[in-house]
Every structure is written in structure tokens, then in C-alpha cells.
Structure 1
Amino acid sequence: MEPAKAALIRETFPVGPLQCNCTIIGDPVTKKAVVVDPGGNPELIMARLEAHGLKVVSIIHTHAHLDHFLASGQMKEKTGATLHLHKEDQFLWDNLEMQCRMFGVPYTPVPAPDQWLSDDEELACGCGVALHTPGHTPGSMSFWFADAKLLIAGDTLFKRGIGRTDLWGGDYSTIERSIRQRLYCLDEDATVVTGHGPDTRLGDEMRDNPFVRA
């Protein structure tokens, strides 16, 4: 009988002026970690990594709206980790300063992404995969950790809600298709980490989400 796998390390907490959910995912054996959506407060993120004894190897983004990247440049500088984004959100990344001006948020320069994320790509710590779930933005990504029954959905799916589609590149029929075809086919018992606000359960959204039901 194989020994049970040690549980993935996961901590989610709100950061930055728009309270984006930043998530740390760590491999309990190698102590390598990915940081998802460092939207501010780099000192807090670094402190939480240190508390778990983790070394961040990649910084991954669900999409390139300003509130999901504000600490990315500082995190890269402090850790040497690589920055990852889907190519179809490059136009948003190239206009981060403009986004900050529009929302009255101070801009901290962020270097270009090191690597483009692709659909079904395995993540750096070897414990999850990237899913391309466009609609909120053309390059929106979700991250699926099957063993942990954990879905990081960014601003694609919320507790009884979905991401807005009235910003740059958003499209309602596309987000609806992404949710139905990519997310609702995953494990109903999965915990969904949303881009803002509380976690939810995938099966509950499949049945009770007023915008997109399975």
C-alpha cells in the first residue's frame, strides 16, 4: 500500500487596495511554491512564505487586471521567481500603468512576463495544471489541483457570481462557455478560490449560481 501523499500547503489572503485574493501553493516535500495573483502587500506575502518555509519558484497570474499584479515586480525582485501570464492578456500587461491611472492606484513598474502560460500546462511545483478560461479577459486562466480538489478561478467564477465582462476584452458568451465546459466538468467537491471574497464549493455553483448553472 502506497503511503498517503502529504497535503498541499495552501493559504489564501486578500492583498492590495482592491483586496484581491493572493494564494500561496506549496509542495510539502520539495518546499517549492507558486504564488498566484500577488495584488499588493509584498512584505505580507513574503512573511507568509517564510512562515511555511517555502521558496517561491514562479509567480502566476489568473489575468492581467491591475489588482492581480501590483506586487509582482517586487516579488520577482525579492525572490528571482519567474512571472507567468497567458499571451492573450499581453495587451493588458502592456497597459498596466494606464489601468492604475484609471483606478487611481499608484503604479509600481513590473517587468514583462518571463513565460506565457498555455492551456493544460503543468505548473512549476508539479502539483497542478493551468486551464485557459477566457471571458473575463481573453487570457484568463484558472489553476486546477486535482489531488487537493482545489480550483483557483481568479475572476472567472465567484460565490454565486461570475466575472464582469464589461472591461477590456471581456465577453459574456465566452465566460459562460469557459465555466460550463472547463470548470463545471471538474470535481463537484472541489473548493473554489475566487479572485475576491470567500471560497465556494464547485457543486454549489453548478446548482445555485444564478448566472451559469451546469
Structure 2
Amino acid sequence: MQIRTFALGPLQTNCYLLSRNGEAVVVDPGGDPAAVLGALENDGLTLTHILNTHFHFDHVGGNRKLAQETGAPILASSEDAYLMETELGLGGFMGLPRIEMFEYENIKPGAHRFLGLECTVFRTPGHSPGSLSFYFPDAAAVFVGDLVFYRSVGRTDFPGGDFDTLKHSVMESIFTLPDETAIYTGHGEATNVGDEKRNNPFFSDFHL
């Protein structure tokens, strides 16, 4: 599986283009998806799904356009649906762009297949109630949105956030993965499970 990163939108959110055997999946198109659409066209890829880790405005800004241009369905957790009735989901505050509404399908945690590969969808609340993480074991990669970052964690001071819940999500769903698993985050550089278990200061009480 090839993984390409595009920094999209006003907060330079990491949008991931996953591709294999002529098919592609996009994770969190947070802004104008023109660059992603260009990559799809240039490489002759068919977009099969758009995956959202959560419904904060900076992760969904390109949903509508990308879905309209490709016909790919948007999959996300309905537990975050309420956010699309707030500025946190819709944007529009502090000069930030407003989100164009989009339709989506609820995806349940558990076993799924994308690009012909196994994918486990973890329910990982804490940053938002409906936060999801997408784990591809054959690629040794997990896409976590704003759950955990390199040596840090996602904010929990937004409505619906909870620090203890976030820590539990990370320890139960992410830190139980093999140490070499790459963690692809919503902002900033990628990291891996082993490094975060050893060095993330928010988990200094975590026993290896």
C-alpha cells in the first residue's frame, strides 16, 4: 500500500491518500482536495472510499467536493454527527471557512476491507466522542486523526473531549499494536507505537 500525505486547509491537516492496485482511499480531506484529485487522475486511481477520523471542521473541509468529483462514499462515526450543528464541525468562526454540508454513511468499529486489505476500525473517543482510528495490519500503519501526535496527544478541551477517555483509547487500541506500527497523525510528523510508548510524556505512567 502506497501512502501519500497532503497538508490541506487552514490548519494544514494531514490528508492521506492510500493506494493499491489501481484503487485508492482518502483519510481526512481537510481542505480543498484539488491536489488529491490531481494525484488520482495522474495515477489513474479509482477512489473507493473517503474515511473521516472525526468531524472537526479541519478534517472534513474537502469531503463534499471530493465525494462529488469521485462518487466515493464518506464513512464516519454517527457519534460525531452533532458536531455538524456546531462551529467546531461547521467552521466559520475567527475568519475560518465554513464547511459545505455532506452526506455520509455510519461505519461501525470492527473488521472491514479497503483496497483489498484488512482494516480494523477502532472506536477511539477522547478528542471527540466519535473519533475513529483505521488500522491496516498488512501495511503496519494506523491512521488516528487527532488522538495522539508525536510526543503529544490531541486536545480534550473541546466540547465532547475528555482526557481520561483519550488516554484509555490510546492505551487500549493503539499501544496494544506492534511497536513498529506507524502512527499517521492528523497534524505534524508521523511516529510509531514503540516510540510513543517509551517517550510520550502523557503516558509516563504506562508500563511497558
TM-score calculated relative to the size of structure 1: 0.90
> Gapped runs of 5+ residues in structure 1?
1-7
Q: Letter of the aligned partner of 1:26 in structure 2?
A: S
Distance in 2, matches of 1:187 and 1:72, equals 31
Conserved in 1, the CA contact under 8 Å of 2:153 and 2:202?
yes
Distance in 1, matches of 2:125 and 2:87, equals 19
Cα distance, 1:108 vs structure 2: 4.0
Who is 2:13 aligned against?
20
Q: Letter of the aligned partner of 1:66 in structure 2?
A: F
Residues 87-136 of structure 1 deviation map (CA, whole Å, 9 limit, x = unaligned) = 110101343687412242122422221x1111114143232221110100
Distance in 2, matches of 1:85 and 1:160, equals 26
Q: Does 1:196 align with 2:200?
A: no
Cα distance, 1:71 vs structure 2: 0.7
The count of corresponding residues between Structure 1 and Structure 2 is 204
> Gapped runs of 5+ residues in structure 2?
none
TM-score calculated relative to the size of structure 2: 0.92
1:16-165 alignment to 2 at 5 Å? 16-27=9-20, 29=21, 31-95=22-86, 99-113=90-104, 115-127=105-117, 128-165=119-156
Distance in 2, matches of 1:12 and 1:159, equals 16
Q: Does 1:10 align with 2:42?
A: no
Distance in 2, matches of 1:139 and 1:25, equals 22
Cα distance, 1:57 vs structure 2: 1.2
Residues 166-212 of structure 1 deviation map (CA, whole Å, 9 limit, x = unaligned) = 00200011000000000000010011111000011210001100002
Who is 2:166 aligned against?
175
Fraction of identical pairs, as percent: 36
Residues 38-75 of structure 1 deviation map (CA, whole Å, 9 limit, x = unaligned) = 00121111012223331111111000000001010000
Q: Letter of the aligned partner of 1:110 in structure 2?
A: M
Q: Letter of the aligned partner of 1:17 in structure 2?
A: P
Conserved in 2, the CA contact under 8 Å of 1:121 and 1:131?
no
Q: Letter of the aligned partner of 1:46 in structure 2?
A: L
Residues 10-47 of structure 1 deviation map (CA, whole Å, 9 limit, x = unaligned) = 111211111000001112x2x22110000012111101
